[in-house]
Amino acid sequence: MTQKIEYLKPYRASEVKEILNPLVSEWFFSKFKDFSATQLYGVKTIHDRKNILVSAPTGGTKTLTAFLSILNYLVDLALKDELEDKIYCCYCSPLKALSNDIYVNLVQPLEEIAKIAEGKGMKMQEIRVGLRTGDTTVSERAKMARKVPHIFVTTPETLAIVLTTQKFVEKLAMLEFIVVDEIHALTNKRGVYLSLTLERLSNFSAIEPVRIGLSATISPLEEIAKFLVGQDRDCLIADVKLVKEIEIDMDFPGKEILDAWTTTSHRELYDMLDKIIEKYRTTLIFTNTRAATERVVHHLKEQFPGKYVGLIGAHHSSMSKDRRFEIENMLREGKLRAVVSSTSLELGIDIGSIDFVVLLTSPKGVARALQRIGRAGHQLHSNPKGMFIVLDRDDLVECGVLMKEMIEKKIDKTEIPHNALDVLAQQIFGMAISKVWDVEEMLTTIRKSYCYRDLTKEDFFAVVSYLAGDYALEHRNVYAKIWYDPVEKKIGKRGKLARVIYMTNLGTIPDESHITVVITTPADRKGQQVGKVDEGFLERMKRGDVFVLGGQKYQFLYSRGMKAFVKADVSKNPTIPSWFSEMLPLTFDVALEIGRFRKLLKERMGGFGGGRPLGRSDLPSRKKQEALDFVRKHLYCNVRVAQEIYDYFREQNDFSEIPDEKTIVVEKFKDEKEYLLFHSLYGRRVNDALARAYGYAAARLRMRDIGLGISDNGFYIAGEKLEEQKILDWVKAKDLRTILKEAIETTDVLKRRFRHCAGRSLMILRSYKGRDKSAGKQQVASEFLYRAVKKISNEFPILREARREVMEDLMDVKNAEQVLRWVENGKIKFKVRRTPIVSPFGLALHMVGRMDLIKMENRAKFLRRMHELHLKAIGNKVK
């Protein structure tokens, strides 16, 4: 069976109107003047019962598009008194808060339509909407079980739970529509999970439900469409283009960008923000990280005492649900002048009218940038408006290219994880709870998901074996969650607790370890808990460091277990730069585009420089003007920005060489160690893979540990003595995965990902027999589990999944292979240059500091070497 994925043309308004029940039509046109573009694509298509992916920029009318023909259908039935006691439509959204939102938006139209009917004296059955999320109370759930909703609003996790409830399954068996909202936010394991849940749903449905996917701007749409509908089902794509113009600009605080990190320019940054906030009614500022969010709120309050009290708020994912909800409400009510967010406000919760969006530091991808700026002008007829505020020169180039791509509407490609074995394990367990399966039927159902279309039998049975407790040998009864009968070829659940375990441990988002911050001084606030920081943040802290949390400054004293004890009311300035934590990776497509820009500008600066002293040489003024004009036109940026970019390139050119899309400049220099710094601008996901491969090559040459630093713009390896030619020659595209498997084996990142995978695959239950485990406890257990699993089999499926996740989701091994192939076929060339110190383009990367290590020397050898060194150091006086 071949699958047809086709782009759709919009219908005429009259064609859409024709299908509407007069009542619904009356209601619609009492609220709206005309159908939106999105509705012209979608309403009739859904009415015709065709699968559809609707991609439209934020500010569209996607949700009503999906619901209009469904409401229309239900009203038709209700008027004819033919509405049955079953779920007709299931609406699934990754956002809990959004579900609440939709609930209001669904119930209201229904009430209004009912009112019109009543006014006309028409009898109509009640159309029920039911919301169920993780927060729904037991009594509400019971009510829903008695009076089944016709439209069921839920989250991916809760949907999976109800699939194990016999009563619900009966009500879902004749489901006609399934709506997946915000599908662009599901290109991760959560989405993979949902894809299997949808297949489970289709598996027991008597009729194949129509699948409707709603997405913000994303690429490639064909992939997302297949992800929505699964294998062998057709899908139409409505690619609704943004008709509105984007108004976007870019600038930096201060006279020159080099100042951007000094305190004065910080003042200038907040002056700049202050002016923007004054100019607009409501401004939304995106910062990328939680820490930066805190910092911006803190500085605005400090620099403008009294001015922003109660008028500015922070919003990020580690804030409490109540606090976030409060901020969202204040936004909707128009009470806030500004809100600062990490990434949490990117998604489509209705936050009222925002007039202006500030992108403070790079959003790292076009789709994300569009999503963010789309938060302004959410209403139908205003344009999204915003600006980039850039703080360093690398960001200047990066944001310039991003701005170009936004204006030219070139969206970076996204990818969905494939064959994730941990998610598979959880779903097989869930499936086994629902019923006893024929093994072939189970595998066929799983393979219908786009994310598992090429799942091998071996992998499938490896996971079944794990779940059946085969790896535990004599203790099978403890570990087994399912039974598998190889003779009858059947799979079923095991143990009385199965359903409870599934319900309380389901999900794909790992618990992160957070450290609670507790005050010790001053005495009157002793014992007060002021918030949480993540464990990684604590690791970077020394006694005496000052950091910002929730807009307040604290000084770190010491930690005990999962608590950090601090001093409050400190006057010292923060000593921890938290801007760089939890960094978003630059997308590969934008990275390549920056490489192209580098090449174009390099050509215009024409074979210039190369080791000449800084500042002495410049282009003839006409040529220089041409280059500046090029930058301005190419990036749509102002003169100030163009001048800074030009200067930055000239400095690099004079010092060493401008790396570009065809040239990876490799700088060799000595600091404490010997460095090879690769100017490989491919985004940190690709660079992570490349750094570890070249790092491993260097480590094995001398059997010593090698330090690594990784950024979006490149990476470095550092060691005692680096033979660059041997190192460069050793890494080949065809070996990359094998090398990486070795290179990541002893890293913390693999252990951390293993912990997440162990949680998803239910090897570590966060909730068991009525007790919840802290993330810290899970972590301790996972350390031990990790070692134990490796002893059982180095190819244990969940361990393999952790490796896959590191290589494919965290890193981007596929594009790293591509880069290596380009090197091998001569499309890209390495140019090794010896430099006295790091060049301007490499400065930020060099300052990132060492991020990881390729451990080549084993523990035992390291200990003996350290012993020898120590004996020398203390003069052999041990005895």
Partner 1 sequence: MIKHVGRCLYIESKGKKILVIGDLHLGFEEALNNTGIFVSRTMFKEMINYLVGVFEEIGNVDEVVLLGDVKHTFGSVLKQEWGDVLRLFDFLEERGKKIFVVKGNHDVILRPIVKKKDVFLVDYYIAGGFCFLHGDRDFAENYDKKIKYWVVGHGHPAVKIGNGVKVEKYKAFLMGKHLGKKIILVPSFFDCNLGSDPRENNLGYAWKFNLNKFNVFVVQDDSLDVLDFGLLSRLP
Spatial distance between the Cα atoms of 799 and 425, rounded to a whole number of angstroms:
13
Do residues 422 and 798 touch, judged by C-beta distance below 8 A? yes
Spatial distance between the Cα atoms of 389 and 399, rounded to a whole number of angstroms:
9
CB atoms within 10 A of CB 123: 9
Which residue type does 130 have? G
Residue 479 or 730 having the CB closest to partner 1: 479
Q: Indicate whether 636 belongs to the interface with partner 1 (CB under 8 A).
A: no
Please state whether beta strands 663-670 and 674-679 pair in parallel, antiparallel, or not at all (unpaired).
antiparallel
Residue 232 or 720 having the CB closest to partner 1: 720
Residue 829 or 861 having the CB closest to partner 1: 861
Q: Indicate whether 785 belongs to the interface with partner 1 (CB under 8 A).
A: yes
Residue 12 or 867 having the CB closest to partner 1: 867
Within 13 A of 55's CA, how many CA atoms are on the CB side? 22
Stretch that binds partner 1, among 355-363, 651-659, 748-756, 848-856 (CB under 8 A): 848-856
Spatial distance between the Cα atoms of 290 and 365, rounded to a whole number of angstroms:
18
Stretch that binds partner 1, among 215-223, 524-532, 572-580, 786-794 (CB under 8 A): 786-794
Hey, which residues between 558 and 587 contact partner 1 (CB under 8 A)? none
Give me the 723-762 binding string for partner 1, x by CB under 8 A, dash otherwise.
Answer: ---------------------------------------x
Q: How far is the CB of 685 from partner 1 (least distance, A)?
A: 25
Stretch that binds partner 1, among 316-324, 398-406, 765-773, 841-849 (CB under 8 A): 765-773
Strands (E), 779-819: none
Do residues 315 and 339 touch, judged by C-beta distance below 8 A? yes
Q: Indicate whether 833 belongs to the interface with partner 1 (CB under 8 A).
A: no
Stretch that binds partner 1, among 57-65, 257-265, 301-309, 466-474 (CB under 8 A): 466-474
Give me the 791-820 binding string for partner 1, x by CB under 8 A, dash otherwise.
Answer: xx----------------------------
Q: Indicate whether 210 belongs to the interface with partner 1 (CB under 8 A).
A: no
Binding-site member from 471, 547, 648, 696 for partner 1 (CB under 8 A): 471
Which residue type does 419 have? N
Q: How far is the CB of 809 from partner 1 (least distance, A)?
A: 24
Q: Indicate whether 837 belongs to the interface with partner 1 (CB under 8 A).
A: no
Do residues 728 and 680 touch, judged by C-beta distance below 8 A? no
Q: Indicate whether 767 belongs to the interface with partner 1 (CB under 8 A).
A: yes
Q: Angle of helix 439-447 relative to helix 457-467, nearest 10 degrees?
A: 120
Stretch that binds partner 1, among 41-49, 317-325, 635-643, 870-878 (CB under 8 A): 870-878
Which residue type does 705 have? D
Q: Indicate whether 765 belongs to the interface with partner 1 (CB under 8 A).
A: yes
Token code pair at residue 675: 């460095």
How many amino acids of this chain bind partner 1 (CB under 8 A)?
46
Stretch that binds partner 1, among 5-13, 439-447, 468-476, 834-842 (CB under 8 A): 468-476
Q: Indicate whether 768 belongs to the interface with partner 1 (CB under 8 A).
A: yes
| Cα maximum dimension of the chain | 103
Q: Which of 244, 231, 226 is nearest to 53 (CA)?
A: 226
Q: Angle of helix 775-792 relative to helix 797-804, nearest 10 degrees?
A: 110
Binding-site member from 129, 174, 330, 472 for partner 1 (CB under 8 A): 472
Q: Indicate whether 213 belongs to the interface with partner 1 (CB under 8 A).
A: no
Which residue type does 149 have? P
Q: Indicate whether 862 belongs to the interface with partner 1 (CB under 8 A).
A: yes
Range list of H helices, 20-61: 22-31, 37-47
Stretch that binds partner 1, among 56-64, 272-280, 835-843, 852-860 (CB under 8 A): 852-860
Please give the helix or strand (H or E) that residue 109 lies within, else none: helix 96-119
Report how far apart, in Å, the C-alpha atoms of 722 and of each of 606, 700, 732, 852 are.
32, 11, 18, 17
Binding-site member from 258, 330, 701, 853 for partner 1 (CB under 8 A): 853
Please give the distance of CA 275 from its chain centroid, rounded to a whole number.
Answer: 31
Q: Indicate whether 850 belongs to the interface with partner 1 (CB under 8 A).
A: yes
Binding-site member from 236, 424, 764, 844 for partner 1 (CB under 8 A): 764
Which residue type does 427 have? Q
Q: Indicate whether 206 belongs to the interface with partner 1 (CB under 8 A).
A: no
Token code pair at residue 698: 């260097």
Spatial distance between the Cα atoms of 383 and 379, rounded to a whole number of angstroms:
9
Token code pair at residue 413: 């490609």
Binding-site member from 369, 492, 773, 836 for partner 1 (CB under 8 A): 773
Please state whether beta strands 715-719 and 674-679 pair in parallel, antiparallel, or not at all (unpaired).
antiparallel
Residue 21 or 774 having the CB closest to partner 1: 774
Stretch that binds partner 1, among 31-39, 209-217, 241-249, 768-776 (CB under 8 A): 768-776
Q: Indicate whether 703 belongs to the interface with partner 1 (CB under 8 A).
A: no
Stretch that binds partner 1, among 341-349, 528-536, 813-821, 859-867 (CB under 8 A): 859-867
Binding-site member from 82, 166, 860, 872 for partner 1 (CB under 8 A): 860
Please state whether beta strands 338-341 and 283-286 pair in parallel, antiparallel, or not at all (unpaired).
parallel
Q: Which of 612, 594, 532, 544 is nearest to 572 (CA)?
A: 544
Spatial distance between the Cα atoms of 416 and 191, rounded to a whole number of angstroms:
8
Within 13 A of 37's CA, how many CA atoms are on the CB side? 18
Binding-site member from 1, 142, 309, 873 for partner 1 (CB under 8 A): 873
Q: Indicate whether 79 belongs to the interface with partner 1 (CB under 8 A).
A: no
Spatial distance between the Cα atoms of 517 and 73, rounded to a whole number of angstroms:
54
Binding-site member from 101, 199, 705, 712 for partner 1 (CB under 8 A): 705
Stretch that binds partner 1, among 187-195, 274-282, 608-616, 779-787 (CB under 8 A): 779-787
Hey, which residues between 474 and 503 contact partner 1 (CB under 8 A)? 475, 478-479, 501
| Long-range contacts formed by 611-619: CB under 8 A, 24+ apart | 611/654, 611/655, 611/656, 612/654, 613/654, 614/651, 614/654, 614/655, 615/654, 616/654, 617/654, 618/650
Q: How far is the CB of 705 from partner 1 (least distance, A)?
A: 6
Give me the 112-141 binding string for partner 1, x by CB under 8 A, dash otherwise.
Answer: ------------------------------
Binding-site member from 784, 825, 826, 836 for partner 1 (CB under 8 A): 784
The residue whose two tokens read 């594009």 is 815
Within 13 A of 16's CA, how many CA atoms are on the CB side? 25
Residue 610 or 849 having the CB closest to partner 1: 849
Can you give the length of the chain in residues? 879
Token code pair at residue 258: 């080099």
Within 13 A of 534's CA, how many CA atoms are on the CB side? 12
Give me the 264-303 binding string for partner 1, x by CB under 8 A, dash otherwise.
Answer: ----------------------------------------
Residue 495 or 606 having the CB closest to partner 1: 495
Binding-site member from 769, 795, 826, 872 for partner 1 (CB under 8 A): 769
| Long-range contacts formed by 369-373: CB under 8 A, 24+ apart | 369/402, 369/406, 370/57, 370/216, 370/217, 370/246, 370/406, 370/411, 371/58, 371/184, 371/216, 371/217, 371/346, 372/286, 372/346, 373/246, 373/248, 373/406
Stretch that binds partner 1, among 138-146, 222-230, 650-658, 763-771 (CB under 8 A): 763-771
Hey, which residues between 499 and 558 contact partner 1 (CB under 8 A)? 501
Q: How far is the CB of 425 from partner 1 (least distance, A)?
A: 11
Question: Which residues contact partner 1 (rule: CB under 8 A)?
Answer: 471-473, 475, 478-479, 501, 705, 707, 762-769, 771, 773, 780-781, 783-785, 788-789, 791-792, 850, 853, 855, 858-860, 862-864, 866-867, 869-870, 873-874, 877-879
